A and B are shown apart, each in its own frame.
Chain A
Amino acid sequence: MDNKKIYAVTGLFDTPDEIIHATKKVSSAGYKQYDVNTPYPVHGMNIAMKLKHSKLGYFALAFGLSGTAIALLFMYWVTAIDYPLVIGGKPFFSLPALIPVTFELTVLLASIGTVVTMLFLFFRLPNNAHPLHDTNYMKKVSEDKYGICIEAKDKLFDAGKVRDLLISLNAKEISEVYYDEDYLKSNFKVYTPQFMGFLLIVFIVVSSAIYYYNNKMLYKPPYNWMMEQDRVNPQSKSSFFADGFGMRQPVEGTVSRGHLPYLYAGQPEEAGAKLVNPVSVTKENLALGQKKFLTFCSPCHGNFAKGDGRLNNLFPVPPSLHSDKVRTWTDGRIFHVITEGQNLMPSYATQVTPEERWAIVLYVRALQRALNAKEEDLK
């Protein structure tokens, strides 16, 4: 009981008119450290208490503008600097599409900022250890009474005089509120290094947990990622299909891109009669024909098509391409042999494209002509 100090003298009123009147009187008596407690905001109290207009609007504006700035700068940095991606051919920093997020962040920051400022900076809440808590006075103003509370901090404070003033104003239930300094000190306080440190630790723990979840835990079972899921590799077995192959055959009649089906399969004479060489005699085409001939044909046929290839005696020797038979063949007939093969010669359709085959035909013609030059070639 020794530590009990007086905090304030309080008085209660029954109607809003009375409290306004009383407040004006208290105010004009010169008291500064007083408060009016009412169950709801009473109109006209700001004037009666001579309070200045709330500055919180400016805070809302400042927080809102910083929300706008943060949103725009962040999105600018992300979309135009850090990871520019072309999306729908739009500019990297395309303002109209960024308006929704900017608006939301503006409102979000303004709301949170204003409320946090009000509760924690302006009101110094949470504070459940205020001397007025748990008093009869607080219980009454919490319900339907209007109370005034003149605090001992005030320079003019004198318990007797304040009591007299309140009596003269017809206040009811005038009473002194005491507080115990030791009790208040022993109580838990928010704005202490210990509690702030605790908040910091909580913050670190939560952030680490989120980091661990997003960057580590998500990559552990049961979260199977594509690379760990069952799959069929190319050229591998699979028990899933009846034929045991992992790969599927294309649908019958499928034509691959850039490919035309060969119309004269098994019809050499038809091919010889109907196919016309679409490739013209140019330096480039002859060079291409030479290159392909040396790569694919010369191992057996020889570099000059004489049937003396590098595989001599290791493989049955093919006939010379300078025979009368081959010389009288049409271009289409030779093309057919390259495409389909004949006797021991396999088809080269998969290794040599049609254009390249026609170029080879041109080159073979050039070789044939070189050994059977005509009079005018010498000119």
Chain B
Amino acid sequence: MTIFAVMCAGIFPLIHVGRPWLDAYLTPYPNQHSLWVNFTSPLLWDVFAVSTYFTVSFIFWYVGLIPDFATLRDKAVTKIKKVVYSVLSLGWRHSNRHWQHYEMVYLILAGFATPLVLSVHTIVSFDFAVSIVPGWHTTIFPPYFVAGAVFSGFAMVQNVLIVVRKIFNYEHIITLDTLEKMNKIMLLTGSLVGYAYAMEFFIAWYSGSPIELFTFVNRAFGDYAWAYWIMISCNLLLPQLFWFKKLRRTIPVMFIISIFVNVGMWFERFVIIVTSLSRDFLPSSWAYYKPTIVDFGMLIGSFGLFFTLVLLFTKFMPVVSIAEVKAVIKGAQPSHHEDK
């Protein structure tokens, strides 16, 4: 999921560079201009953060799948499947001499991936926070974006999981308890994001900067108040329903709430970007933003790309790590009496 989302995410900056065929200029290679990229620019940090995030996620995901590919290889019935899974499994033999290193590497990769998640969202928020546009130039952005990313990420995964467990009859693997735990995280991160909204207002007032204050009052009560209040109700108010255990364990409720959370998080980006840009320092650039057909095309296209990849993945590859599930079911590990 991360990988597909990052693929979609990676496309947008590339489109927005304006000349997508020149994206290679963002990589520091010895080019004919004998010019290097600016390593102190957030745009470049973004290039490194997103590409590293993608690569490491991809490696993590693939390494996790190798034993599963081996299992699929040994259970394959058709020739083509057997060849494909043999190649993908690299000839994994479930050897315990391998498992020993494998577990170590998996631990190391998990250790890398966690700070990487923090770093990638921090750096994405730097794209805004390092600029001087009122409403963007705030130090709260990095933690705020990380919380928002976890929040919307969980909502998206929740959506997909609910559908997947229903279609593939995975109710015994992806249990209601799992979903409930995810709802708790959504409640926590949603409240964190709500705290960030409140804090932004406080700092705008506390800073004493009339421009900052105007920006935030304009956000909540200006032309885009509708977007702002959609964001608040979807991201902050609706997830509060998860305080009730009954609602937390009702699948239709959590499905609807997580859809609304996704809508709310989309509106968060809309509010951040559009309201700040529609009222920046130059009154001559003040305007009311109207999306064009191209904007809608890019949005729909990214949805299409994401769901195509996810559906292909669920069709041909193990959605849940087989080896991991096997290792944690009851009786999978030796009883401790004998383990001396």
Point out residues on A near B: beta carbons under 8 Å: 15-17, 19-21, 35-47, 49, 51, 54, 56-57, 60, 74-75, 78-79, 82-83, 85, 87-88, 90, 94, 97-98, 100-101, 103-105, 107-108, 110-112, 114-115, 118-119, 122-123, 125-130, 132-133, 138-139, 141-144, 213-215, 218, 223
Contacts and interface: CB of A to CB of B under 8 A. Distances in A.
The main secondary structure of chain A at its interface with chain B is helix
Contact of B101 (A56, A75, A98): A56
A143 B32 CA distance: 55
Interface string B264-300: 0000000000000000000000000000000000000
A104 B119 contact: yes
A136 to B, nearest CB: 10
A115 B323 CA distance: 18
A143 B76 CA distance: 12
A47 B100 CA distance: 11
A57 B71 CA distance: 27
Interface string B70-87: 110111000000000011
B119 A40 contact: no
Interface in B16-72: 21-22, 24, 28-29, 31-32, 34-36, 38-40, 44-45, 48-49, 52, 55-56, 59-60, 63, 67, 70-71
Nearest to A41: B99
A104 B101 contact: no
B105 A100 contact: no
B188 to A, nearest CB: 26
Interface centre among A17, A90, A100, A122 (most CB of B within 10 A): A100
A101 B339 CA distance: 46
A132 B98 CA distance: 15
Contacts of A97: 39-40
Contacts of B210: none
Q: How large is the interface on B (under 10, 10 to 19, 20 to 34, 35 or more residues)?
A: 35 or more
A141 B95 CA distance: 10
Nearest first, the 5 closest Cβ-Cβ pairs linking A and B are A97-B40, A40-B327, A142-B74, A126-B90, A54-B104
Interface centre among A111, A112, A141 (most CB of B within 10 A): A111
A206 B325 CA distance: 40
Nearest to A134: B74
Contacts of B21: 218, 223
Interface stretch (B167-175, B193-201, B328-336): B328-336
A215 B29 CA distance: 11
23 contacts: A35-B97, A36-B95, A38-B96, A38-B99, A40-B67, A41-B96, A41-B99, A41-B103, A41-B327, A45-B96, A45-B99, A54-B101, A60-B105, A87-B40, A97-B40, A100-B49, A100-B126, A108-B55, A111-B55, A115-B59, A118-B102, A118-B105, A122-B98
Nearest to A124: B91
B5 to A, nearest CB: 18
A54 B100 contact: yes
A105 B56 contact: no
Contacts, number: 197
Contact of B332 (A40, A83, A118, A213): A40
Given A42-B334, A133-B91, 10 more contacts: A17-B334, A20-B339, A35-B95, A41-B323, A101-B44, A107-B116, A114-B105, A118-B101, A119-B90, A123-B98
Contacts of B92: 125
A132 B99 CA distance: 16
B111 to A, nearest CB: 9
B71 A143 contact: yes
A122 B63 CA distance: 14
Nearest to A103: B119
A114 B44 CA distance: 26
A44 B339 contact: yes
A78 B32 contact: no
Contacts of A45: 96, 99-100
B108 A57 contact: yes
B109 to A, nearest CB: 6
B27 to A, nearest CB: 9
Given A41-B96, A41-B327, A215 B32 contact: yes
B177 interface: no
A36 B100 CA distance: 11
B101 A122 contact: yes
A142 B32 contact: no
B96 A100 contact: no
A101 B48 contact: yes
A115 B109 contact: yes
Contacts of B335: 17
Interface centre among B98, B105, B126 (most CB of A within 10 A): B105
Given A85-B38, A104-B49, A128-B91, A43 B339 contact: yes
B74 A214 contact: no
A341 B188 CA distance: 83
Contacts of B331: 15-16
B32 A83 contact: no
A35 B74 CA distance: 19
A141 B104 CA distance: 21
Contacts of B49: 100, 104
A107 B56 contact: yes
B332 to A, nearest CB: 7
Contacts of A104: 45, 48-49, 52, 119
Contacts of B100: 41, 45-46, 51, 54
Contacts of B94: 37-39, 138, 141-142
A349 to B, nearest CB: 34
A212 to B, nearest CB: 12
B102 A41 contact: yes
Contacts of A75: 39
B303 to A, nearest CB: 28
Nearest to B123: A100
Contacts of B323: 39-41
A108 B97 CA distance: 26
A363 B300 CA distance: 78
B93 interface: yes
